[in-house]
């Protein structure tokens, strides 16, 4: 069996087998999901260097290129780590369907990344969308599942329409055929529908509102796999295909992409700043980070596209680490409310270290992975400058400003959860990590490895996709990493040298009085002035009312007309006959006049 086919068929088979796990053994269902993910990981890793078609039937084919293999491998790696994590996270048995859905998610994602025909792409994409909604339904609230199903499901329907029109608009049934120009209304229809499906799955604005809701209501393993990593990769993969491989894009569409990316970066991080729930804050950062990927692809330059794709990978790594760390905090403290947390670094040292590294990586601090991808995106925007006129300064400002606000937001999180004064009512269990440990160690280690050694870890793969990119600017990541590690080593040495000395400890006084634990300053108060300052006060008010939520706007629009129809629904036959006559006359006039 071909290795790529194995990464699709084997997890699908394991998923069906997981349905029949006996009730007493369902607590071990995570091992079935881990086995399915491991088959995907092995299939992806073993296929590097083989760029050919993998035929499954006479007219159905898979095609693996370097990007496909990277994403298949990452799907297996993320799935394996999260499946192991689930073994320690869930205190109660999950139904067999939960583990089956995870296996089918791995299979469907692998099929999307390697599909070379429209039928495989559409079916696999639809299965991944259905699995998303079902996982949210099983592990979270029904309202979030319904919202996710409506938003993602409706755009998946657009994807089916777009793919059908796309195939009709070109010669040849394989997706790897030549690109087509946007010179006909039918082709524009295909592009727009596929574009909407891609940005919705990636979580870019304005189709993002399902992500914060899922982040709050669903189990951590679900949010770490779907909106944080695999769904993000699916959306950006499709966006890359339509922007660089399937269509010949004009400068106008690249401009639209840059606008969407910039608004998503700034809008997402502003919404994250005022959140009091750790998981919802991470959900909005998932939205914001999608903006960087869209910005990178929008530059249409090799270095910018490479930065966008690398940021997709980096975001999946550190965002999964952040969500899984948040899961440990929630399990040990019993809450995700930032107002009620604090001082957990001593009781959760491994989780704190892992979370800290991932938080600095998402903030773009050198020498971590987030800095490398953001640096490439910045360079792509600057290279795009002459073609974009003066607009490039706006895109660069949005990207840099978004990074600064991301750092500010995570300083708030680190203070609120790990470093600040704990609440008097907080009771935290001591950290006991078993199955959670591989993810909490491997993911931050990957952030360090990509950040310090990008020329050995990331650049070879990126250049195989986009061509030579180099590393613009004066930056030596290994030298910076050496300085950082040397500073840490010196700090550790001084700590052990001086910890035997006795120091006088003085109590803290505020206005001549000793503060009690209820007078503590929570981290969520850091940026309260931003919330209350104009024009941000109005913006946050509109957000709370749902003015930026496309789902709520459409729902209100539909229910508005339903209320009108209810008024018209009197139950009197004569009234109904009158409406039939009036409607018939209007239809007649519309057709013949």
Residue 530 in this model has a pLDDT that exceeds 80? no
Residue holding tokens 């470093």?
A: 419
Span 228-243, pLDDT tens digits? 888 899 999 999 988 8
More confident site: 498 or 351: 351
CA-CA distance, 586 to 593, in Å (whole number)? 10
Residue 472 in this model has a pLDDT that exceeds 70? no
Q: Which two tokens stand for residue 202?
A: 């990636």
Residue 359 in this model has a pLDDT that exceeds 90? yes
CB 305 within 8 A of CB 299: yes
* Mean predicted confidence (pLDDT) in 388-411: 84
- Greatest mean pLDDT among 89-98, 116-125, 444-453: 444-453
CB 295 within 8 A of CB 381: yes
Q: C-alpha distances in angstroms, 79 versus 74, 92, 376?
A: 8, 20, 28
Give the pLDDT confidence score for residue 427 in this predicted structure.
Answer: 77
More confident site: 142 or 397: 397
CA-CA distance, 370 to 364, in Å (whole number)? 5
Give the pLDDT confidence score for residue 59 in this predicted structure.
Answer: 44
Give the pLDDT confidence score for residue 500 in this predicted structure.
Answer: 64
Lowest mean pLDDT among 97-111, 250-264, 282-296, 550-564: 550-564
As a three-state string, the secondary structure of 514-541 is CCCHHHCCCHHHCCHHHHHCCCHHHHHH
Which of 309, 279, 258 is closest to 140 using CA atoms? 279
* 391 class by beta-carbon count within 10 Å (0-12 exposed, 13-18 middle, 19+ buried): middle
Chain CA centroid to CA 139, Å: 18
* Mean predicted confidence (pLDDT) in 487-506: 74
CA-CA distance, 63 to 175, in Å (whole number)? 9
Beta strands in 238-373 (DSSP E): 247-248
b/e 394-416 (16+ beta carbons within 10 angstroms → b): ebbebbeebbebbbbbbbbbbbb
More confident site: 141 or 321: 321
Give the pLDDT confidence score for residue 80 in this predicted structure.
Answer: 93
Q: How confident is the model at residue 23 (pLDDT cuts 50, 70, 90)?
A: confident
b/e 37-66 (16+ beta carbons within 10 angstroms → b): bbbbbbbbeebeeeeeebebeeeebbbbeb
Q: How confident is the model at residue 512 (pLDDT cuts 50, 70, 90)?
A: low
Phi-psi region of 389 (alpha: psi -120 to 50; beta: other; left: phi over 0): left
Q: How confident is the model at residue 362 (pLDDT cuts 50, 70, 90)?
A: very high
More confident site: 126 or 144: 126
Which residues have a Cβ under 8 Å from the Cβ of 580 and sit 6 or more positions away?
Answer: none
Q: Which residues pair with 513 in a beta bridge?
A: 510
Q: How confident is the model at residue 474 (pLDDT cuts 50, 70, 90)?
A: low
CA-CA distance, 194 to 253, in Å (whole number)? 13
CA-CA distance, 297 to 257, in Å (whole number)? 8
pTM (whole model) above 0.75? yes
Query: How many residues would you count in the chain?
Result: 593
* Mean predicted confidence (pLDDT) in 511-521: 59
Lowest mean pLDDT among 91-95, 112-116, 135-139, 319-323: 91-95
Q: C-alpha distances in angstroms, 54 versus 117, 304, 371, 441, 518?
A: 12, 31, 37, 35, 64
* Mean predicted confidence (pLDDT) in 579-591: 82
Which residues have a Cβ under 8 Å from the Cβ of 176 and sit 6 or more positions away?
Answer: 63, 116, 245
The continuous run of DSSP H or E covering 320 comes out as helix 302-333
Give the pLDDT confidence score for residue 1 in this predicted structure.
Answer: 45
Residue 204 in this model has a pLDDT that exceeds 60? yes
Give the pLDDT confidence score for residue 74 in this predicted structure.
Answer: 92
Phi-psi region of 474 (alpha: psi -120 to 50; beta: other; left: phi over 0): beta
Span 30-80, pLDDT tens digits? 888 899 999 889 888 887 766 554 544 444 567 778 888 899 999 999 999
Residue 459 in this model has a pLDDT that exceeds 80? yes
Give the pLDDT confidence score for residue 502 in this predicted structure.
Answer: 66
| % of the chain at pLDDT higher than 90 | 14
Span 78-105, pLDDT tens digits? 999 999 998 888 877 777 788 889 999 9
Give the pLDDT confidence score for residue 81 in this predicted structure.
Answer: 93
More confident site: 474 or 547: 547
Residue 107 in this model has a pLDDT that exceeds 60? yes
CB 305 within 8 A of CB 380: yes
Residue 400 in this model has a pLDDT that exceeds 80? yes
Phi-psi region of 300 (alpha: psi -120 to 50; beta: other; left: phi over 0): left
How high is the mean pLDDT of the chain?
A: 81
DSSP code at position 512: T
């Amino acid at each position: 069996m071909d290795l790529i086919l194995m990464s699709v068929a084997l997890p699908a088979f394991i998923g069906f087998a997981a349905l029949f796990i006996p009730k007493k053994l369902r607590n071990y269902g995570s091992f079935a999901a881990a086995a399915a993910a491991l088959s995907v990981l092995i299939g992806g890793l073993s296929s590097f260097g083989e760029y050919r078609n993998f035929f499954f039937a006479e007219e159905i084919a898979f095609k693996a290129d370097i990007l496909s293999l990277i994403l298949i491998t990452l799907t297996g790696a993320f799935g394996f780590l999260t499946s192991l994590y689930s073994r320690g996270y869930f205190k109660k048995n999950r139904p067999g369907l939960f583990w089956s859905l995870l296996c089918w998610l791995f299979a469907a994602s692998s099929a999307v990344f390697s599909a070379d025909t429209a039928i495989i792409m559409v079916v696999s994409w639809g299965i991944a969308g259905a699995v998303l909604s079902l996982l949210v339904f099983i592990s979270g609230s029904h309202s979030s599942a319904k919202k996710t199903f409506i938003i993602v499901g409706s755009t998946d329907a657009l994807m089916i329409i777009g793919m059908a029109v796309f195939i009709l608009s070109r010669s040849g049934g394989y997706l790897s055929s030549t690109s087509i120009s946007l010179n006909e209304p039918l082709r524009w229809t295909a592009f727009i529908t596929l574009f909407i499906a891609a940005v919705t799955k990636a979580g870019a604005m304005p189709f993002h509102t399902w992500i914060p809701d899922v982040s709050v209501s669903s189990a951590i393993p679900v949010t770490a796999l779907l909106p944080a990593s695999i769904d993000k990769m699916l959306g950006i993969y499709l966006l890359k295909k339509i922007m660089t491989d399937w269509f010949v894009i004009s400068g106008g569409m690249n401009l639209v992409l840059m606008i969407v990316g910039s608004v998503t970066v700034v809008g997402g991080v502003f919404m994250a700043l005022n959140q009091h729930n750790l998981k919802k804050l991470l959900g909005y950062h998932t939205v914001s980070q999608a903006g960087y990927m869209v910005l990178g692809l929008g530059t249409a330059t090799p270095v910018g596209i490479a930065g966008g794709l690398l940021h997709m990978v980096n975001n999946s790594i550190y965002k999964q680490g952040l969500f899984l760390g948040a899961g440990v905090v929630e399990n040990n403290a019993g809450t995700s409310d930032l107002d009620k947390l604090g001082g957990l670094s001593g009781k959760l040292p491994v989780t704190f270290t892992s979370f800290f590294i991932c938080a600095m990586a998402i903030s773009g601090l050198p020498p971590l992975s987030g800095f490398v991808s953001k640096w490439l995106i910045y360079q792509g925007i600057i290279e795009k400058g002459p073609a974009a006129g003066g607009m490039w300064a706006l895109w660069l400002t949005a990207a840099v400003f978004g990074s600064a606000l991301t750092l500010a937001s995570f300083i708030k999180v680190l203070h609120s959860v790990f470093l600040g004064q704990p609440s008097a009512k907080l009771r935290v269990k001591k950290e006991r990590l078993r199955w959670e440990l591989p993810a909490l160690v491997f993911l931050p280690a990957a952030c360090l490895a990509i950040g310090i050694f990008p020329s050995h870890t990331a650049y070879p793969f990126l250049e195989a996709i986009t061509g030579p990119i180099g590393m613009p600017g004066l930056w030596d990541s290994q030298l910076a990493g050496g300085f950082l590690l040397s500073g840490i080593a010196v700090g550790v040495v001084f700590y052990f040298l001086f910890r035997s000395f006795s120091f006088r400890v003085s109590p803290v006084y505020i206005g001549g009085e000793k503060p009690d634990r209820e007078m503590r300053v929570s981290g969520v108060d850091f940026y309260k002035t931003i919330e209350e300052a104009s024009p941000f006060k109005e913006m946050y008010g509109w957000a709370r009312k749902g003015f930026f939520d496309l789902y709520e706007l459409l729902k209100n629009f539909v229910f508005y007309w339903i209320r009108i129809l209810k008024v018209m629904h009197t139950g009197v036959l004569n009234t109904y006959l009158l409406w039939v006559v009036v409607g018939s006359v209007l239809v007649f006039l519309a057709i013949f006049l």
